[in-house]
Amino acid sequence: MHLAVDRGIATITLDSPHNRNALSAQLRKELREHLTAAIADDGVRVIVLDHTGTVFCAGMDLKESRSADAEKQGVLEFPAILEQIWTSPKPVVAKVAGPARAGGVGMVAACDIAVAAETATFAFSEVRIGVVPAVISVTVLPRLNPRQAHELFLTGETFDARRAAEIGLINSAVTADALDAEVRRYTDMLALGGPRALAATKAMLSSQRPSKMSEAFDPMLKLSAEHFAGEEGREGMRAFSEKRKPAWVPDALK
C-alpha cells in the first residue's frame, strides 16, 4: 500500500497483487491509515484510490478469513473503511483498471467518482460462496435502481464496465489507454472547488431528505447563507469578479 501526494492529489495505491489486492488484515490497516493521513493533510484536495496488478480488489481475503474470527475477517472493520471513504470531506475518486469483486465493489461505490477501464469487470459474488453482500449494500444500493440491484445481487453475474456505468455504479468507462486522462480530468475539476464548499456539498448530498419539501428549505437556506457569507465564499466571488482563480486552487491549475 502506498500514499503519494502531487499537485494536491493524494493517490492511495492498493499494492498486494499476489492475492489480487484482497482485503487482508494488513491491507485494511494500511488503507485506513493512508485515508486518515490524506484527509488530515491540508495540502490534499482530492483522493484517488488506485491499484497495482491486473485486479482492483477481489474483496475479502478468503484464505485469511477461513480460520479467523469475525473481527479478523473484517466483518466489524470493513464498514469503517467504507464509511471513511463515503464521509471523507475530500472527494474520493476510484481508478479501476481491473476486476472488482464483493468488497472491492463496495469501495468503488463508496467513492464520489468512479472511473473504470472498459476491460474491468464487476460482480457481487457473495451468494455464490454462500454468504450475503450485506455490508457493501450500504454503499452500493444508493447507486443502483432496485431492479438492477435484485438481478445482480441475487445472480452474482459478472458484468462489464459499460454496464456498470449504465446502472450508476461508476461514472465513466473508457479505453484502458484513456484511463489516466479521464481520472486526471475529474481530479482537475474537483480541485477547482472550494475545500469547505466541497465538504459541505458532500454532506448535503448524503443527508436524508425530509418527506415534505417545505421542511427541506430552512436548513438549505441556512447552509447557503453560511457559505455565501463565509471567507471561502467571499474569496470565490472576488476571484470571479477579478477574473482569476480563487486562492484555494492548486498552483498547477492556475
pLDDT at position 16 is: 94
Query: CA-CA distance, 177 to 6, in Å (whole number)?
Result: 21
Q: Are residues 159 and 235 in the same domain?
A: no
Query: CA-CA distance, 209 to 193, in Å (whole number)?
Result: 24
Answer whether 140's CB lies under 8 Å from 108's CB. no
Q: Are residues 29 and 142 in the same domain?
A: yes
Q: Are residues 241 and 219 in the same domain?
A: yes
User: How confident is the model over 38-57, as pLDDT tens digits?
Assistant: 999 999 999 999 999 999 99
Mean residue pLDDT of the chain comes to 92
With a CB cutoff of 8 Å and minimum separation 6, the contacts of 86 are 110, 139, 206
Q: Are residues 107 and 221 in the same domain?
A: no
Q: Are residues 111 and 13 in the same domain?
A: yes
pLDDT at position 71 is: 47
Q: What share of the chain is helix, strand, coil (3-state, %, to 5)?
A: 55, 15, 30
Structure-block grid coordinates of residue 156: 452474482
pLDDT at position 125 is: 92
pLDDT at position 66 is: 57
Considering its fold, how many domains does the chain have in total? 2
pLDDT at position 70 is: 47
pLDDT at position 65 is: 58
Q: Are residues 119 and 141 in the same domain?
A: yes
Count of other CB atoms within 10 angstroms of residue 74: 24
Q: Are residues 219 and 184 in the same domain?
A: no
User: How confident is the model over 216-232, as pLDDT tens digits?
Assistant: 888 888 989 999 999 99
Q: Are residues 38 and 77 in the same domain?
A: yes
Average the pLDDT over 179-188 and give the result. Answer: 98
User: How confident is the model over 59-116, as pLDDT tens digits?
Assistant: 988 777 555 554 455 567 899 999 999 999 999 999 999 999 999 999 999 999 999 9
pLDDT at 158 over 70: yes
pLDDT at position 39 is: 98
Q: Are residues 154 and 180 in the same domain?
A: yes
Domain boundary among 191, 212, 243: 191
Comparison of pLDDT for 187 and 67, the residue scoring more: 187
Domain boundary among 170, 191, 212: 191
User: How confident is the model over 120-147, as pLDDT tens digits?
Assistant: 999 999 999 999 999 999 999 999 999 9
**What CATH number does residue 77 fall under?**
3.90.226.10
Residue numbers of the domain that contains 203:
195-253
Answer whether 252's CB lies under 8 Å from 7's CB. yes
Domain boundary among 191, 224, 241: 191
Average the pLDDT over 157-180 and give the result. Answer: 98
**What CATH number does residue 240 fall under?**
1.10.12.10
Listed residue (155, 153, 190, 185) closest to 169, CA to CA: 153
